[in-house]
Structure 1
């Protein structure tokens, strides 16, 4: 074997491994990626893809399945799984977060007000965004009921309306009382529909009543009608007649 042929063989032995390695390197292609862009109707909403929060709203991803979530305070979570095979844009429309407020009452058909605005009658139900609300329930002949609550979950409010009361006061003129007694007004007994009252001032539900004043052997009766929320004063008087 001459020197020239030997040199050629040695050179081939050195070059062949390098060429093979270069071929292997060129066959290792970089993975194909596509741009996934997420647009939303809420400014500064948080976008996460496959559980990782991203900066901005576009991310390059390999082809395949990816889960996108968009969230913002006061809005329902938006979630969608996408099969990415090319550049793609998703539109995430967030819906306001709402809770159910249900207002019930022992008086069906009582009027319901929310933040001062009429919203229907009991039993009443509606969806509202989170926040603070003042609820008032009103019905003629009953005391208004009102409360304030922070709505951050579904709420059921049960209202027990109480009959509205009228205030009645018995005022006996001093000229009719026996001035020789130390406390003459305490000697006068007041009855309402036959029931003794603890004092000269009391409250009654709306309606019609018989009020009696008793002192010694003397008794007076008077029928009265009272309306809710009003105040009344009963003043007895005597008149003389000479035949």
Structure 2
């Protein structure tokens, strides 16, 4: 009997010692929920209800903590509980960080026109089509480039702080034209407008022109020219001629000659002529008529564009 009581005493003592060891192997976990009641779940198992506070003793270690309340975002956190215990403040339905609203950037209209037809417009390297164009832009500086056939490229930086208009003036491409002639001081006309006198130099926009050069005593020089670069034009003006006509009446020959004109020899500057009407350059010339043993001769100063008539009457007379 005494032996049995002694055995039971030893068993109870052992249980008390073991219980003390287990009691020392736990730590206090305290959960403070922002709103209750909320479930406290540790490693997937319901530990209790925080309303709004909950405390329980658990073995020290690392756990996955979940605190949740219907209708609110859950609180999740991986926690490590030391032997000294741990308090966790679980914020349920915490306000999410909302980015500050960005101010709406104001847009302005950049209106671009050009004086050249078929002018291609680009803004900051992006093609905008043919002028005129309207472009919506923010405030800032923009590079505007414009190109058109026959015109120099246009390139400018435009500052935009409000609705802005740009009227681009493109310069026509031009070529240097030099015009000379065999007559100094001859008048030069371009498209029927007097441009100067030879020798003449100017820059002309690319394109087609009607060129005319005039000088007293010379035939007009006329030509169409196309300017696509530098050109050197040399015009040769042809002198205007004077007309001299030999007029012989029937009285000069007499009735005995059936074909008197066939007996006439007409010389100009000692050169025999085939016809009795000749064209000669302005200046002094010698005219001689031979008819059988008769020779009549005279010198005459003629002017360009005029007509002279020579009539023999035993001497040559001029009319």
* TM-score, with structure 2 as normaliser: 0.57
Q: 1:143-173 deviations in whole A, cap 9, x for unaligned?
A: 2222344656655432111111111111111
- Higher strand proportion (structure 1 or 2): 2
**In the alignment, which of 133, 143, 151 is matched to residue 67 of structure 1?**
143
**Unmatched tracts of structure 1, length 5 or more:** none
Residue of structure 1 in register with 2:265 after alignment? 189
**Unmatched tracts of structure 2, length 5 or more:** 1-46, 55-65, 78-90
| Aligned partner of residue 275 in structure 2, secondary structure | coil
Report which of the two structures shows the higher radius of gyration computed on alpha carbons: 2
Q: Cα offset for 1:234? A: 1.1
Q: RCO higher in 1 or 2 (8 Å CA, sep ≥ 6)?
A: 1
- Kept in 2, the 8 Å contact 1:131–1:150? The answer is yes
Residue of structure 1 in register with 2:68 after alignment? 8
Q: 1:189-242 deviations in whole A, cap 9, x for unaligned?
A: 111111112211111110011101122332110111110011111111138xxx
Cα distance between partner residues in 1 of 2:133 and 2:160:
21
**In the alignment, which of 206, 223, 226 is matched to residue 282 of structure 2?**
206
Count residues in correspondence: 233
Query: Structure 1 residues 235, 168: closer, same or farther in 2, change over 3 A?
Result: same
Residue of structure 2 in register with 1:47 after alignment? 121
**In the alignment, which of 276, 289, 292 is matched to residue 216 of structure 1?**
292
* TM-score, with structure 1 as normaliser: 0.72
Query: Structure 1 residues 228, 119: closer, same or farther in 2, change over 3 A?
Result: same
RMSD, matched Cα = 4.1
| Aligned partner of residue 74 in structure 2, secondary structure | helix
Q: Cα offset for 1:178? A: 5.8
Residue of structure 2 in register with 1:225 after alignment? 301
Cα distance between partner residues in 1 of 2:111 and 2:253:
89
**In the alignment, which of 115, 135, 144 is matched to residue 58 of structure 1?**
135
